[in-house]
Each structure stands twice: as C-alpha cells, then as structure tokens.
Amino acid sequence: MGSNYRKRRIHCVKVTMTHQKVYRTVTILAALAITIVLVFFLLSQIRICDFIIILAKINLLYLFLAFIPYVCAYFLRALRFYILLNREISVKDLFSIVCLHTFMNNILPARTGELTYIYLLKLRNKRISEGIATLAFARFFDFISISLLFIISSFFVGLLKEFMMLICVTFLIITSISCFTFMSKKFMNNLPRKIEEIIDNFMHVRKSGKLKQLMAVSILVWISLYSAVYFIVISINLNLTFFEVLFASSFAIITTILPIQGIGGFGTTEGGWCIGFIAIGLTKDVAISTGFAFHIIILAYSVILGFYGFSQIIMFKKQIFGYEKK
C-alpha cells in the first residue's frame, strides 16, 4: 500500500516538473518571438543612422542628473518593503534586494524576474507567502500611483477625454486587484495553506494602519521615476514639459509592470513609448528612435544598480555559509 502511494507521489512530482518545464519553454519562446517581431517591425520604420545620431548627441550632464532620482526610486521601493515587512529587514539590505530584483525584472520575460524578490527574501528566513503578499501589495500601489499620475498628466496635456477609455480600463484592473486584495478571509477558508498565509499577510497590512504610508511612499517612487525619465528625455534633446513626458512615458511604463514584456523588455517598451509620444505630437521615426535610446539608458542604469545588488547578496551569502561552517 505504502509502495503504491510513493509511486503515485513520484509520478505526480514528475508530471508537475514536466509541466513546469513545458511552461517555461513556451514562455521563453513566446517572449523571444514577441521581441524579434516587435524589434524588427520598429527598426524597419526608422533609419538606423538617425538613431545613432540621437545617441551621439546625448547630454551627459542630464544623463547623470537622471540617475539621481532613479536611485531615489530604488531607495523608496526599499523603504516601502521595509514598511510592508514590519521593519524586520533593514532598508540597506532591502535596497540591495530591490537593485537585483529590478534588474532581473528588466531582462527576464513576462515578469518572471518577480521570483527573484521572493527567493532573496527566503534567504533572510522569510516565508514564500510573505514574499508573495508584500510583492502583490507593492504592485497594487504601483497601479494606483501610475493611474493617478496618468490622469493628472492627461488633464494638463489636454488629452483627458481622448484617453478616458484607457483610464476606465486601468481603474477596472485596479478594482479587480482591490477586490482580490481585500477579499474577506471567510471567503478564502477552503483554499490551500499557502494562499491562506498570503491572505493573512494582506489582512495584517490592511489592519496595521500602514495604507496611507504605503500610498505616500508609492507616489514618491513614481514621481522619482518619472523625474528620471524627464531628465533622460531632456538628455536626448526633446523639448517637452514634465507633464507631457509623464503622460507619454506612462504607456511604456505600463508595459514593464504587466506580464507582457519580451526579453529585456525590447519591443514592448519601445512600442508603448511610441504610442505615448506620437499621441503628444512626435513623429513616428523620432518616437521610435528615442524609445530605443531611452530603453538602452534605463537598462544601463539597471545594470549598474543590479551589479551592486548582486555583489551585496553574494557577500551576504558568504557570511551565511561562513557562520554555518563555524
């Protein structure tokens, strides 16, 4: 009897592993196909020499200035996780986690880089359910912050009516996430234990009185990121206002927080950027060329901070293994 049970368990594990491998393979192939198709299509719409000219004329001073609010956004993200995790991990350690987590998110397809955050928290003796819950809360506040700033910018740009449908769809997404997030625990009683633990974390954050703090920090995160984007836009010699940049770049940013991006975000980021900047009056070729320039700059920033985060995590793991050997 016991032998048959073990065989069934082994068979189930093998089937699950096979399904996971198939899913990963399909995800990677789909992301690769999306990236190749979109990049090829976008590059076919411009002259490569125009893109090279844009890169050659980049203002390095504004490029450096853009890096400052970009780093501030990482610090504020670390502060947000610090609040969500009940101040049990230092902001300094969370900053390293955010650096590596964001880098992996930027290069891996379909938001699979999110798993990095959960893994790195587990290294610090945090449950998987706690990692999932805090990450979901962070993404929830990201959606709200981006939506609010997008609506404000569309009002100043004068395109509120034209993009009302997009705003409504965005709020529908937020409402759906809200319903899931704040669903009563009684409704979830029959779900597996992991899901129960996640809901426990949601309920704890909701009852802790941290929501206003988290909302304020999240808005500051995105104001910092949009400020970085604004300085990047100035560095590539586009004469636009802050609210125009905020409005137009939101389309590119949305592609980075939804599970639709390709490998390295190439193709999807430029596509979103192109839609937004054409909407405010840029020509197609300028929008596409500056989109690629912006993406390369953001990836460069991400690589720098990702390397810092990786080095800190390696040092932390060496300390752990060192203590274990002692």
Q: Does residue 122 register a pLDDT over 70?
A: yes
Query: For the chain, what is the domain count?
Result: 1
Q: Does the pLDDT value for residue 147 go beyond 80?
A: yes
**Residue range 124-142, pLDDT digits in tens:** 888 888 888 889 889 889 9
Exposed / middle / buried, residue 43 (Cβ in 10 Å: 0-12, 13-18, 19+): middle
The torsion of the CA quartet 276, 280, 282, 288, rounded to 10 degrees, works out to 0
Query: Which position has the token pair 């390709």?
Result: 262
Separation between Cα atoms, residue 277 and residue 81, nearest integer Å: 32
Flag whether pLDDT at 64 surpasses 60. yes
Residue type, 18: T
> What's the mean per-residue pLDDT of the chain?
81
Give the pLDDT of residue 5: 53
**Residue range 252-256: mean pLDDT, rounded:** 84
∠ CA 228-290-32, rounded to 5°: 95
Across residues 250-263, what is the average pLDDT?
78
Mean pLDDT of 76-80: 97
Range of the domain at 274: 2-325
Q: What is the pLDDT of residues 264-316, one digit of tens each?
A: 888 889 999 999 999 899 999 999 999 999 999 999 999 999 999 999 999 88
pLDDT at 165: 59
Closest C-alpha to 152, from 165, 141, 163:
163
Separation of CA 302 from chain center: 12
**SS3 category, 223:** helix
CA-based nearest residue to 128, from 69, 193, 210? 193
Question: Which pLDDT score is estimated for 143?
Answer: 86
* 3-state helix vs strand vs coil in the chain, percent to 5: 85, 0, 15
Query: How is residue 258 annotated by DSSP?
Result: S
Alpha carbon separation from 31 to 180, 185, 258, 306, 323 (Å, rounded): 28, 36, 13, 22, 41
